[in-house]
Amino acid sequence: MVVKHFCLQMEDSLKEITSHAVVSSWNEWDPLKHVIVGRASGTMIQASEPAVQNDWPQQGFPLGIFGPMPEQMEAKANEQLDNFAEILENRGIRVDRPVPLDFSQAIQTPDWNQDSMFGCMPPRDVLLTVGKEMLEATMSFRSRWFEYLCYRPLLEQYYKDDPNFRWESAPKPRLTERTYKQDFWQEWHSLSEEERWRHTENSDWIITETEPLFDAADVARFGHDLFVQKSMVTNDSGIEWLRRHYPGHRVHKVSYTDQLPWHIDATLIPLRPGLVLVNPERTALQKAHNVLFEKNGWELVEAPKSVRTEKMPLCTCSLWLNMNCLVLDPKTICIEAAETPMMELLDKYGFEVIPVPFFEVSPFGGGLHCATADVYREGSLEDYFPNQIDGV
């Protein structure tokens, strides 16, 4: 009798172990327990392609020249990434790292050839975790078409370990000439400021509506509500695809006064229920945007400017990376170590602020949020916007 009881108990605890959720994350603030942190190794100034025209003659990369990021820069970036991973691990968070490919290799599909890839520092661009699902984004640069492969060893493992993990991949885009507006960059460089703003108001950038396109980093997760930015890399069709893919969620299409928008995570940053960080230079183009937050009791806090006045060489991100933070739980947040005004602001709001040196990582694709992808946060799916309104 005793033996039978013991066996049943064993069975129960085994069931518990095997059904323990490895993957789950519904928002940007619940207690973080497991995360992916990117690597700088092998990152390239990618070869020109329709969507990307790097032109840095002063740094040895004039238009048309591509190649690996300088070795010393890569070493410093990896040092800061490793240090960040260690900070997280010391706080009891499990950290996984991607497996870099040879990004210097030329790649091809039946539709195109591309002379190089990019890298795997910013997993946030590629992987979108919503609940028990991780979704590989379509991406819209040819150089980033195969980037998901760096995360496959991890996703394969999560799939084995978690019987409830939903592993999804959005339709791989063709990225043919039809996906891009011809001569966009040439025209853009000849436009006046006023004409550029007109393009922005009309969300008129390089990608067409030929096929659904989105980067995962254009999505800000607030439980039931997903705010998705239309941008240089995310089109209407991509937002519609996300809407159909998440029928249990409300997908809000948003855009801001950002001339060449590229990812929402230096524009709209959820901090905790009721508190969202907003970019004072990027106001929402939808009048209903702020009303929706206010009607649901959210405070919109304007971010202070970065202490820096110059970006790192070879950096494609803006100085607003000071907003690109990682929330560890509703009371704890990682901020770039030099960004004192941001740290002081969040301290006033009751956060324990963890300073993380990260500026050297910026040329490799972003800040602390970009460099991570959620695997597991405690918490469940909640509705933080019970009062919906039209127009956003």
Q: Which of 48, 235, 318, 372 binds ligand ABU (CB under 6 A)?
A: 318
Least distance CB 214 / ligand ABU (angstroms): 13
Q: Which of 284, 317, 371, 375 binds ligand ABU (CB under 6 A)?
A: 317
Strand 225-229 relative to strand 275-278: parallel, antiparallel, unpaired?
unpaired
Nearest to 27 by CA among 334, 307, 378, 332: 378
Q: Are 209 and 237 in contact (CB under 8 A)?
A: yes
Catalytic site residue from 263, 317, 325, 329: 263
> 265 catalytic, yes or no?
no
Least distance CB 43 / ligand ABU (angstroms): 14
Residue 100 in the binding site for ligand ABU (CB under 6 A): no
Q: Are 28 and 273 in contact (CB under 8 A)?
A: no
Q: Which of 266, 333, 335, 353 binds ligand ABU (CB under 6 A)?
A: 266
What DSSP string describes 283-318? Answer: -BSSTHHHHHHHHTT-EEEEPPPPS-SSPPTT--S-
> 370 catalytic, yes or no?
yes
Stretch touching ligand ABU by CB under 6 A, among 21-29, 76-84, 183-191, 257-265: 257-265
Residue 262 in the binding site for ligand ABU (CB under 6 A): yes
Nearest to 41 by CA among 99, 115, 127: 99
CB nearer to ligand ABU: give 135 or 368: 368
Q: Are 224 and 382 in contact (CB under 8 A)?
A: yes
Within 358-377, the residues that bind ligand ABU by CB under 6 A are 366, 370
Residue 119 in the binding site for ligand ABU (CB under 6 A): no
CB nearer to ligand ABU: give 84 or 385: 84
Q: Reduced to 3 states, what is the DSSP secondary structure of residue 279?
A: coil
Least distance CB 262 / ligand ABU (angstroms): 6
Nearest to 229 by CA among 245, 249, 213, 209: 213
> 111 catalytic, yes or no?
no
Return the bridge partners of 270, or none.
276
Stretch touching ligand ABU by CB under 6 A, among 37-45, 46-54, 139-147, 260-268: 260-268
Distance between CA atoms of residues 12 and 9, nearest Å? 5
Question: So which residues are the catalytic ones?
Answer: 215, 263, 370
Residues in contact with ligand ABU by CB under 6 A are 217, 262-263, 265-266, 317-318, 320-321, 366, 370
